[in-house]
Structure 1
């Protein structure tokens, strides 16, 4: 079938007017329904040489899901048919035709949007997503992007009527839990979890957030810099701090830290929660982790954090293993003591005694060494303790010089390491991981507690 020729009729009913879009093995056509005399959209999937059974599965899923959706901003399902022509065989899906330009086309034509218009657009799309995600089971679009959003001409103060189209990548939770993993979507608009073939309703929120960033910056998400998978867009947009914060929540790469539903995102758009690297509300300390051995003593005049021993880590075990032959006296050292000058023998003996003492200290530190971080009204002290013996690590630090409590994320190959630091006038004065092996929850809890007690902002 030559779809470039108008007036051809599909399924004895749909007269082709023109082609709207084309992909390998697929066509989207504008046609006239000869029975109703209304224009419709006919999506065609061909069973040609490039045919993939997965494409048919998605095509059929789209028709089944659209058939059960009834929303004024989503195309209505009209018909589904098979065709068998001279040179072609395939399937057709008929939907209502929405006479509107895509958001992508309008942006390419030079249309620009104010922050209020972007908010209005976002709210309208969130209402659609809320409808989809509230279905049983929830329906996930998986391919939200500017070309799949239609927008009629604006009128007055309205941004225009908004429509979400192209459900060719749609998935419901039931289909996902069936075990088949299909990675679909558009690079730049896909959240990290979607690359693994597993999506949640919050995955659509990421795609919507990336779309809104594109509208405001004029740059495709892949053209913006990234840091630890976070899109760095704040410097490229002209928006209020509150709306920029809301967008950061939308495109949070961690599924657990993103808005969990369209309803929550919609409720937060005018008054988003503050963004910090650690907790959602820096004024509310995190609960103490259940299994932590860290002790915390807090009064209005004093905050004391008692860190437990580090235990035997890989680094410590390696160091003890290297020192042990020297400490116990290897045959090499015994022979040297017997054959060398008395002074050299004394040096070797002294080295052996030092190694014994150092190994003993390392073992005792792993077992019993505790570090006390003491914050008082005007100073900070770091005190170490082993079996009742105490010593101070640093000189006293003036409390009003402490300017920052921060968690720093350093990536090395595939490992993610987190450290909790205290800085004094941009100089590192305390690294928690030097004194104790902390879990992520312990870092977040301590950072929140210290920041609240000092009335500092976390960063």
Structure 2
């Protein structure tokens, strides 16, 4: 049987999908020898001009996009055959399965995979929403998200497909209202014909809820239009549950408003009744800075304590009887005293002026000392990817420190820098919330060691 040929160039391999007045084909481009996807819209008895408007908009939108997570526009055809007339959009073929297909095959997604998916899709949405004018997909759902090349702990390459519902112009009020989207994944404002960047966030949130519960959003109960899913996702971190609830807020004014804000909030959860709250201790001079890109802790100079003053006093008092005496023993004593004084002076200098700066960003972990304009590594920097664990470790009786392990490096913040127990508790809580990790407590009694 001879394969069907479109535009004397595209050899049809098989049909991938069919709806009233539409079909999707897998074909081979005889010029490039590569597989392509062809979406066809037919002019028939059920044809509506609104369908053609959306079809042409999809083609024009794809032509202007260039992102590794979005299929590329290749060609646009007019079909004029005896038995079929219409239009065809040709785009690159992406090998992979949709999230819908994965779910129906029984695949489950871990919390780490859900976050990885969220990150990839938010990056794509951020690209679309930053276009001028913004490109609103309007139909984010499991069947429009493809996964390819899953390997190891990676969820795989993520693609957002099917821009047939896209809106690439500012929402217009008045005139004919066009409701576009899929029930269960549509934000409430879309039912009124309005779509904004946050509408895509709602669709993404509803999609991820499907992944963590295994239930279509319409199968979950609602209260005041809010999807009730927390009881079906008890295995999730409360912060992730709160974030998904935030993404699917029915009210635009309460929902996360941009992909960038959504990613920042996923990395740095907001405080909730479920989140342990440890406030900055009153009177602490430690400076903590947190953004979506990094967390930084600056420990100020410790100051001169009673022990340092006592050492200096002993040296001065011990030197007085020998002033003016020039015996050999006196000279030896003075040499020792000078070394001692230099040591004490360095201790005073460090105590009065040295600051410690601990910083974690997307690339690395660094711990540096700063003294009178000089800077050096307190510990060797390590790659963020080598991060192993964070624990509160009792280094001696009633003196603890935060210990962070990354590769072969070990960083200690705490007792040796004069931090109080309340400051250690505050900083460790901030670090584990920013990193999204659990914390291990190592106490003097091994039987009491726990992870929280």
In structure 2, relative to structure 1, the CA distance for the partners of 1:62 and 1:178 (3 Å cut) is farther
Matched, 1:228 2:257: no
In structure 2, relative to structure 1, the CA distance for the partners of 1:63 and 1:272 (3 Å cut) is same
| Residue-by-residue CA offset, 1:104-140 (whole Å, 9 max, x unaligned) | 0011111111001000000000000000000000000
Shift of 1:153: 3.9
Aligned equivalent of 1:184: 180
8 Å Cα contact 2:15-2:25 kept in structure 1: yes
Aligned equivalent of 2:31: 35
The within-5 A match list for 1:125-274 is: 125-174=121-170, 176=172, 180-237=176-233, 238-274=235-271
| Residue-by-residue CA offset, 1:160-202 (whole Å, 9 max, x unaligned) | 1000000000002336469553111000000100000101100
| Residue-by-residue CA offset, 1:194-248 (whole Å, 9 max, x unaligned) | 0001011000000000000000100000100100001010000120000001001
Matched, 1:49 2:45: yes
Q: Distance in 2 between matches of 1:127 and 1:180?
A: 32
Q: Report the secondary structure of 1:139's partner residue.
A: coil
The within-5 A match list for 1:419-430 is: none
Q: Distance in 2 between matches of 1:225 and 1:275?
A: 23
| TM-score (structure 2 length as normaliser) | 0.59
Q: Distance in 1 between matches of 2:150 and 2:67?
A: 21
Shift of 1:272: 2.1
Aligned equivalent of 1:61: 57
Which is worse superposed, 151-160 or 257-266?
Answer: 151-160
8 Å Cα contact 1:63-1:80 kept in structure 2: yes
The within-5 A match list for 1:295-314 is: none
Matched, 1:73 2:69: yes
Q: Distance in 2 between matches of 1:147 and 1:253?
A: 22
Q: Distance in 1 between matches of 2:215 and 2:148?
A: 22
8 Å Cα contact 1:245-1:274 kept in structure 2: no
Q: Distance in 2 between matches of 1:71 and 1:183?
A: 27
Q: Distance in 1 between matches of 2:105 and 2:97?
A: 11
Q: Distance in 2 between matches of 1:68 and 1:229?
A: 36
8 Å Cα contact 2:171-2:194 kept in structure 1: no
Aligned equivalent of 2:85: 89
| Residue-by-residue CA offset, 1:3-30 (whole Å, 9 max, x unaligned) | xx87101111111000111111000000
Q: Distance in 1 between matches of 2:136 and 2:66?
A: 15
Q: Distance in 2 between matches of 1:71 and 1:206?
A: 22
Aligned equivalent of 1:369: none
8 Å Cα contact 1:6-1:18 kept in structure 2: no
**How many equivalent pairs are there?**
274
8 Å Cα contact 1:6-1:17 kept in structure 2: no
Matched, 1:12 2:12: no
Q: Distance in 2 between matches of 1:21 and 1:34?
A: 22
Q: Distance in 1 between matches of 2:51 and 2:272?
A: 40
Q: Report the secondary structure of 2:121's partner residue.
A: helix
RMSD: 1.7
Aligned equivalent of 2:119: 123
Where structure 1 has 5 or more consecutive residues not aligned to the other structure, the ranges are 284-459
In structure 2, relative to structure 1, the CA distance for the partners of 1:275 and 1:230 (3 Å cut) is farther
Q: Report the secondary structure of 1:269's partner residue.
A: helix
8 Å Cα contact 1:243-1:270 kept in structure 2: no
Aligned equivalent of 2:105: 109
